[in-house]
A = this chain, B = another copy of it.
Amino acid sequence: MAKRTRPTLAEIREAHARIRPHIHCTPVVTCETLDRMTGCELHFKCENLQKAGAFKSRGACNAVLCLSDAEAAHGVVTHSSGNHAAALARAARIRGIEAHIVMPSNSPDVKVEAVRGYGGRIIFCEPNQPAREATASRVQLETGATMIHPYDDVRIIAGQGTAVIELLEDVPSLDAVMTPVGGGGLLSGTLIAGKGINPALRIVAAEPANADDSFQGWKRGQYVPSESPDTIADGLKTGLGKLTLPIIHELVDDILLAKENAIREALLLILERAKLVIEPSSAVPLAALLTNEHGLAGQRIGIILSGGNIDLRNFRFA
């Protein structure tokens, strides 16, 4: 499977069966006020309540459980300062193998503690992309560990695609599904699984206007890199990968943009009205719905709330 370029719906279903004992089948929540404000019927798939606080646990579990025993014996390695790092450390602990996590030396304490809490071995590096990649390669050479990329990996994409399977089991009559897009793992898995189950399902991505590389690339039919994006949605700063870009360009129905103020307001609305703690990335689809001509009025829309890892004590509420 590892050398293929995209998973099939059947493989996403296999991934679901594989990871099910180790993840939450997260609840789907509705909110009358947000329905009224958007003029849609919204169904929030609560991956903020997922293990390790994000959908990333799905892909990481699937990737680690797909390893042969011989591969697994050498552990796994990745470079990430975000949710993938904690999710991979947790997945490795489930399998009883080592996770080597390369993190920038300026990573927030809370993220370092999360990885450590799941038993990950942390290797700090200079806080830039070349140092991250070089350090991860060195660790890979030294240990023989398998590199698990946060999104550009067929096993990861398959795992992330399991969320929409559960969502459609809970609410089969959805007209559309929205996800945020950063590296594109969640969106790619959602596209393959969602349209595989129901070809008429519209799948709409949402992206910060300040990090609109996916939108620009999709409009032009080419790769556009993500260059020094400045957005509160820290999980969405990454650009698309070699595997995720073609899936998205082929299958996505629309990509909507959201400005920073709208993302902030949507975050507060979900906290205050839906009573769910989410990270800023998860607020982008609602922000986009509230501020765009989207052609989804009156429709039944599933929104995947991607994660809940936010530093509330330092969040500027007022």
Contact = CB atoms under 8 A, between A and B. Distances in A.
Contact of A318 (B49, B275, B313): B313
A53 B275 contact: yes
Nearest to A309: B275
Contacts of A24: 30
Given A27-B27, A29-B27, A49 B317 contact: no
Pick the most buried of A268, A313, A318: most chain B CB atoms within 10 A of its CB. Answer: A313
A19 to B, nearest CB: 16
Interface residues of A, number: 26
Interface in A89-135: 117
30 contacts: A24-B30, A27-B27, A27-B29, A27-B46, A29-B49, A32-B51, A33-B117, A48-B275, A49-B274, A49-B275, A49-B276, A53-B275, A268-B312, A268-B313, A271-B277, A271-B312, A272-B277, A272-B312, A275-B276, A275-B277, A275-B278, A275-B308, A276-B276, A276-B277, A277-B277, A312-B317, A313-B317, A313-B318, A315-B317, A317-B317
A17 to B, nearest CB: 21
A46 B49 CA distance: 12
A259 to B, nearest CB: 20
